[in-house]
Amino acid sequence: MNFFSAIVKFENLHEVRRLCHWGPVIALTVIAVCSSVAILDSIIWYWPLDTTGGSVNFIMLINWTVLILYNYFNAMYMGPGYIPLQWKPVSWSKMFCVYRRCCHCKFYTVCVMKMDHHCPWINNCCGHLNHAYFTSFLLLAPLGCIHAAFIFIMTMYTELYDRISFGWSSVKIDMSAVRRVHHPIMPFNVAAFAATLFALGLALGTTIAVGMLFFIQMKVITRNKTSIEAWIEEKAKDRIQYYQTGEEFVFPYDLGGRWENFKQVFTWSGTPEGDGIEWPVNEKCHQYTLTIEQLKQKTDKRVRSVQYRVVEDYNGACCPLGKGLNTFFRTPCTEEPRIKLTKGETIFATRGTKWWMYGDKVLTEEQIRDGVRIRGWFPRRCVEKCHYDSANNSAPEEKKDL
């Protein structure tokens, strides 16, 4: 027992639960399938002990797997870094306001340093400390899959070439035929062919999907932004254009050059620049520039929100069967929550699609005192727009019709 305790720290076993989520399960399954089949196919196609090329191919394949898993688990378990509890800026009067570069994660109810997004594939947030590891994983996974896909194709080609009988009207494949030139130490039968074909599909799909995510991440990194900050900047421009204020919004963390921005995330030591709280900013800005802009956007959001009354109960299901086919099939593709609705409740909607809406539920005084906030998606058919009494409760002119 003492020997086991020396290897496994029981106080850290709760971290193993991060693996018990559909994201890591799928990601690690894809890595395991592609790596295992590629290793087996390498033995069949290019036996590493025969030639130098075979040895190099095999070592590179193992290297991809190790690097991918190293960056994946670092991104998962190192985490993004969190703001200490009860921390607040010493020179800012609003107690609830932290530097806008930090963001609250609704999944773990913590304030994340330089939060980019919550990633289900690592079951953790991507932020200050693990952004480089996460982006490296996004680069290495497609490269490894490209190498694996090449091995799959070459294995199928070399193994099937002598087994294909060309006729005038048909092509027949004899999977039981014996190769005349090369005698692999492992058989390439129907099961091996099916596994290789399946792994090839996974490798190609991963290359495309993860490769696109890598280019998206590099786009924001070279501008020293996060995905959240890019969205804030876009809304800032929309706000300025909507109200014609004439002000100029300067993104505070863009240091003016792609290389300078790149070095804020990627360093030789592996530790990103900064302490996760204070950051180098543009000379026209200060540490609170993004915070102030976000407060303006929140005020604008309240002004432009539209009040709705619930006319139909909703149980909070992601894809409700009883709300129509369009509502069922066009549910928002997001992990944002759905909220239960009861007939007679009031909702302030801030955005929406043709079939769904997103908003905040009007709460009781007791819920407000307890700090409760209920917001999320709900079917549009479950609510109707409130009609204001022009004598007593007129709607603001700036409100946006959703």
Q: Which residues are catalytic?
A: 119
Beta pairing partners, 110:
105
Which pairing describes strands 375-379 and 110-112: parallel, antiparallel, or unpaired? unpaired
Contact 98, 83 (CB under 8 A): yes
Residues with Cβ within 8 Å of residue 225, at least 6 apart in sequence: 233, 251, 253, 254
Q: Report which of 221, 203, 245 is spatially closest to residue 30, judged by C-alpha positions.
A: 203
User: Which pair of structure tokens corresponds to residue 384?
Assistant: 């109707």
Q: Are the C-beta atoms of residues 375 and 316 closer than 8 Å to each other?
A: no
Query: Which residues are CB-contacts of 220 (< 8 A; sequence separation ≥ 6)?
Result: 116, 226, 227, 229, 230
> Are 305 and 274 within 8 A, CB to CB?
no
Q: What residues contact 251, with CB distance under 8 A and at least 6 apart?
A: 223, 225, 229, 233, 282, 285, 290
Answer whether 330's CB lies under 8 Å from 356's CB. yes
Q: Which two tokens stand for residue 135?
A: 């982006």
Cβ-count burial 159-173 (b if 16+ within 10 Å, e if not) = beeeeeeeeeeeeee
Q: What are phi and psi of 351, to 5 degrees?
A: -160, 170
Q: Of 287, 251, 271, which Cα lies nearest the Cα of 128?
A: 271
Residue 90 CB neighbour total at 10 angstroms: 5
What are 303's strand-pairing partners?
none
